[in-house]
């Protein structure tokens, strides 16, 4: 049986643990630098061993797979040393702090023929997979333009705080790295085209925030009491014009200060023959737009979907799947690849460290574009 260690037991760590439990994977150890979080996770999932040191998993020869659910600044070191110790690795996104780090992680995975994964889970909604299958079959026709947004409100107040706002913890970007990496993974997966050029406009809308003196988990809101004022220079707003394969125009806007918007990724893809649109707030529906006949709405239904998408619609029509299910299907693809001895796969339909490296190159170009106030090519 594959033996798994999970590093990080905050919000996303618990998501990983939930889906691993659904898959029946053997979790042998959980780690978090907050002992209360590690102890709680171990008790909830019946995990025998817990600790506060990542090395207790990274250096444990009995552990086959590492799930890296730590803040961004730890991704590179944990991912690299885990692969060098012969482990398969599934990492949270973004893959690293810089494109150079991400490239090295990809190269290490190739050197050790490591099965890798990055948690770009939104591509695993069944109707998103259906849209990708239809585009690949030419049903959309030539892609003419792409549009998208992703709005949240969890950082809309001065008293809202997250480690993602700290440059030392998160790297050179907040929302573009966090939500933008997910969205650009979606658009490249859907269209089969690569982002080649970008023009970014990033803005910090609340430059001074009140940082609580206690640890804050993702999406946790605390009042201003017992806090200190800190300067935040990373962006909570990002707008990006881009080109796919040098010719197809697109635009994407994201912001975490949009009161009333909880988490709403949206894409619209316009082609020669028809259009596709999807919004996370109604994730079982794919809108299909036409010019000379009535528009359509495909509701998640395995019996009428293409086989490569239908396999993810595991419940009868009318029984909607959601975020947890998307994460679970990504994990299942990852563990199926391990069982199949897939190794370091660059061209897989599932997200690997090569995918994470591509996303980091896009992010680097967006940041450079914003700094220089001009279009930049993705290197």
Residues ≥6 apart with Cβ < 8 Å to 308: 129, 133, 349
- CA gap 234, 174 in Å, rounded: 6
Work out the mean pLDDT of the chain and round it to a whole number. Answer: 96
What fold characterizes domain 122-317+360-377?
Answer: Dihydrodipicolinate Reductase; domain 2 (3.30.360)
Q: Is the pLDDT of residue 85 over 60?
A: yes
Q: Considering the domain 3-121+332-351 in this protein, what is its CATH number? A: 3.40.50.720
pLDDT of residue 215: 72
Provide the pLDDT for residue 56.
98
Comparing C-alpha atoms, which of 113, 86, 121, 116 is closest to residue 102? 116
**pTM for this structure?**
0.95
pLDDT tens readout for residues 130-186: 999 999 999 999 999 999 999 999 999 999 999 999 999 999 999 999 999 999 999
**What confidence category does residue 214 fall into, taking pLDDT thresholds of 50, 70 and 90?**
confident
Per-domain residue ranges for the chain? Answer: 3-121+332-351, 122-317+360-377
CB atoms within 10 A of CB 85: 15
Question: Exposed (0-12), middle (13-18) or buried (19+): which is 330, by Cβ within 10 Å?
Answer: buried
With beta carbons less than 8 A apart as the criterion, state whether 272 and 141 touch: yes
For the chain, how long is the longest CA-to-CA vector?
62
């Amino acid at each position: 049986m594959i033996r798994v260690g999970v590093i990080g037991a905050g919000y996303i760590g618990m998501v990983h643990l939930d889906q691993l439990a659904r898959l029946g994977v053997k979790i042998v150890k959980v780690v978090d630098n907050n002992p209360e979080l590690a102890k709680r996770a171990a008790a909830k999932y019946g995990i025998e061993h817990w600790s506060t040191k990542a090395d207790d998993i990274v250096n444990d020869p009995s552990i086959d797979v590492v799930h890296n659910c730590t803040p961004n600044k730890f991704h590179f070191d944990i991912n690299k040393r885990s692969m060098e110790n012969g482990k398969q690795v599934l990492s949270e996104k973004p893959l690293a702090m810089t494109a150079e780090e991400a490239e090295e992680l990809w190269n290490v995975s190739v050197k050790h023929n490591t099965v890798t994964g990055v948690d770009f889970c939104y591509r695993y909604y069944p109707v998103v997979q259906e849209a990708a299958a239809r585009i690949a079959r030419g049903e959309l026709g030539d892609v003419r333009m792409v549009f998208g947004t992703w709005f949240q409100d969890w950082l809309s107040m001065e008293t809202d705080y997250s480690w993602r706002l700290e440059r030392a913890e998160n790297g050179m970007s907040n929302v573009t790295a966090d939500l933008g990496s997910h969205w650009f993974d979606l658009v490249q997966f859907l269209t089969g085209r690569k982002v080649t050029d970008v023009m970014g406009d990033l803005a910090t809308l609340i430059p001074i925030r009140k940082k609580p003196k206690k640890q804050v988990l993702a999406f946790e809101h605390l009042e201003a009491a017992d806090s200190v004022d800190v300067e935040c220079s990373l962006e909570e707003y990002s707008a990006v014009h881009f080109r796919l394969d040098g010719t197809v125009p697109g635009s994407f806007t994201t912001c975490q200060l949009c009161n009333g918007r909880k988490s709403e990724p949206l894409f619209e893809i316009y082609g020669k023959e028809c259009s596709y649109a999807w919004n996370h707030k109604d994730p079982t529906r794919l809108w299909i737009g036409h010019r000379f006949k009535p528009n359509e709405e495909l509701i998640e239904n395995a019996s009428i979907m293409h086989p490569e998408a239908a396999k993810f619609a595991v419940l009868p029509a009318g029984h909607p799947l959601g975020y947890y299910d998307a994460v679970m299907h990504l994990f299942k693809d990852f563990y199926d690849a391990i069982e199949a001895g897939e190794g370091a796969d660059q061209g897989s339909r599932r997200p690997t460290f090569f995918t994470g490296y591509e996303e980091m190159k896009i992010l680097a170009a967006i940041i450079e574009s914003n700094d220089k106030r001009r279009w930049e090519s993705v290197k």
